[in-house]
Amino acid sequence: MDILTHALSGMAVATCAVTFTKGKALRKAKVIFTGALGGLLPDIDAVSMWSRFDSTFGALFNLSDTGRVIYGSKFWYSHHAFFHSLLASVLIGALIILLVYMFRHISSKKKLSFSSFIQNHFIYFVVFVLGYWAHLAGDLPTPSSVWGGIAFLWPSDDYIGGSGNIWWWNNYDIFLLIFCCIVINLIMPTISKRIRANKKVFTSVVLFVTLVLILVQVNTRQYDYAYKGNTTKYAEMEQNSKKEQERILGKKLYRLMDRFDRSMKFHF
């Protein structure tokens, strides 16, 4: 799935999780941003496709394979491997919290208690991990391709998902559902007193309904996008994913989304 939808999926989860915490607007905004970060981070393993990977990371770690080969392989640092696992979500979340603590500890004049810092910042860890999981869930219905899914239970060699229900990108319907979830969860509690009083339930229901609607969309695609390894039908499948969106969204909304897509510097 595209990186923008991934980031927003983490953010959507965070708009719900944040209602379970207390704090000022800035703290809540940071929590929501952390969800987006969790939604982004698993695809850090696509760095091997960066044009200067071989001359930087490749040279630094003395890697015998090119970034392109690494990307489609099953090394722990390949795409869809360790960074797309449950273990990575927890380890990276813990590492980030630890780094933030160390930075604060060094930069603050007062002694900073580790236990009270963790207590205060545990929500960031939780939201990061949840955002990370939202990313992993979003990758499950994409094609198997050369990986056969994602290494969800790494270090196990088994890859799960790769059902090919949806194409890699052009999933505008899913993007719009997630976008609406975020907007509703952020705006509704501010304009309605009743919703504000029940914001935990409200945002949870909105998130749940969004998930159900996404599942419906994922499972009612008219075209099949499943393939293993490489496919000669890549361009055809990509075209089909566009046709599918035009059918779902209608001509007007599709045209709008298509224009938005073309303005992006990455696959969307």
What three-state secondary structure class fits 160? strand
Nearer to Zn ion by Cβ, of 76 and 122: the residue is 76
**Which of the stretches 36-44, 63-71, 163-171, 195-203 binds Zn ion when contact is defined by CB under 5 A?**
36-44
Here's the x/- map for Zn ion, 95-134, by CB under 5 A: it reads as: ----------------------------------------
Contact status: 141 vs Zn ion (CB under 5 A): no
Nearer to Zn ion by Cβ, of 11 and 18: the residue is 11
Q: Which two tokens stand for residue 242?
A: 């566009």
What three-state secondary structure class fits 17? helix
Contact between residue 151 and residue 82 where contact means Cβ atoms under 8 Å apart: yes
- Chain centroid, CA 202 distance in Å: 23
Q: Which of 159, 169, 168 is nearest to 81 (CA)?
A: 159
Contact status: 39 vs Zn ion (CB under 5 A): no
Contact status: 42 vs Zn ion (CB under 5 A): yes
Nearer to Zn ion by Cβ, of 45 and 261: the residue is 45
Query: Which one of 8, 10, 43, 93 is in contact with Zn ion (CB under 5 A)?
Result: 43
Contact status: 139 vs Zn ion (CB under 5 A): yes
**Which of the stretches 41-49, 63-71, 193-201, 254-262 binds Zn ion when contact is defined by CB under 5 A?**
41-49
DSSP string computed for 35-84: HHHHHHGGGGGGGGGSTTTIIIIIHHTT-SS-HHHHHTS-STTSTTSGGG
Contact status: 149 vs Zn ion (CB under 5 A): no
DSSP string computed for 239-263: HHHHHHHHHHHHHHHHHHHHHHHHH
Strands (E), 146-255: none
Here's the x/- map for Zn ion, 187-226, by CB under 5 A: it reads as: ----------------------------------------
Tell me the site size for Zn ion, rule CB under 5 A: 3
**Which of the stretches 102-110, 135-143, 192-200, 257-265 binds Zn ion when contact is defined by CB under 5 A?**
135-143
- Helix extents (H) in 108-165: 114-139
Contact residues for Zn ion, defined by CB under 5 A: 42-43, 139
